[in-house]
Amino acid sequence: MIKFELFTIPDLNTFTIKDIEGFTGIKAHTIRIWEQRYNLFKARRKDTNHRIYDGEDLKVLLRIAYLYHNGIKISKIASMSETRQNELTIEISQSSQTLYHIHELIDATVDYDQERFEKVFLQQITESGIEQTITTVVYPFLEKIGILWLTNNVIPAQEHFASNIIKTKLVSAIDALSMNYQCPEHFLLFLPEGEFHEIPLLYVHYLLKKNGKMVTYFGPNIPLEDLGNFINTKKITHLYTHILTQSLPFDLSELTLNLSERYPRLQILISGPQANLLQAPLPANIIRLEQLNQLTNYF
């Protein structure tokens, strides 16, 4: 199974309890009880008396949610110091993946050591190939970087440093492949407005192009209106998007319905952690890929 989830740092300065529910996967009612019973955090209140949270509150709650979702009782979490919460968070994340290359990439990221990062990355590609590298090293590495952010061990700039090196390598690998312009299947790849996490989309671009498909890449943060002219002009057969970010400026179910109605003749493929939360039944031309390896059905 290919799993790719990354804790992301929102752009807003304050969050409602509903926002926090979306980020953590913990019901707002439960968050209120935890706040009152365990005094783990203290929300501020607006003039309307509604709870609001800042970035530090979000980080604390994400760390608590990570421990809670990994089977640690909230009463036990509440009894821990912040230092112990951080230690346990890192211990849990390390128990699932101990590959040497992942730790080397993390060390290079923390030190902003581009030469070392690229050396480790390219060594792994030489040993295992780009597909194995992305699925067994890069994706777990990005998950760990998310954990390290939660525990105050990396800052956003370090995450951007690593992600942009990976994107550059993927773009180079894509560019080295020949496009099959005669293929009757033409895939248009995009991320909707508010979604900027390009690595999964670039990887799909690589896989499709490698397997002889015609691919056009629009990239991140694309308004739906910008797709229309191209789709109506070119013989697009498939539309693909990957939804990773939890807090987007739209309802995903409404986006799905909108795409289905706008482009009824296309097969619309949607993947990513947030897409897995879509409730069935879906429109007939919407295909949810719960695991990225289901994409092989289209090769």
Q: Identify the structural domains of the chain with CATH numbers, from first to last.
A: 14-95 (1.10.1660.10), 100-173 (1.10.1240.10), 186-298 (3.40.50.280)
Q: What are the C-alpha distances in Å from 213 to residues 130, 160, 176, 179? A: 18, 30, 15, 7
102-117 tens-digit pLDDT: 878 988 998 899 999 9
Helical spans, DSSP H, in the chain: 17-24, 28-38, 55-69, 74-79, 82-95, 100-110, 114-128, 130-133, 139-150, 156-175, 199-210, 225-233, 252-262
50-84 tens-digit pLDDT: 778 877 787 788 888 889 988 999 999 999 998 99
φ/ψ (deg, to 5) at 49? 75, 10
**Residue with the larger pLDDT of the pair 182 and 127:** 182
Q: At what angle do helices 156-175 and 139-150 cross, to 10 degrees?
A: 170
Integer Cα distance of 87 and 85 in angstroms: 5
Class of residue 166 by CB neighbours under 10 A (exposed 0-12, middle 13-18, buried 19+): buried
Q: DSSP class of residue 269? A: E
- The model's pTM is 0.74
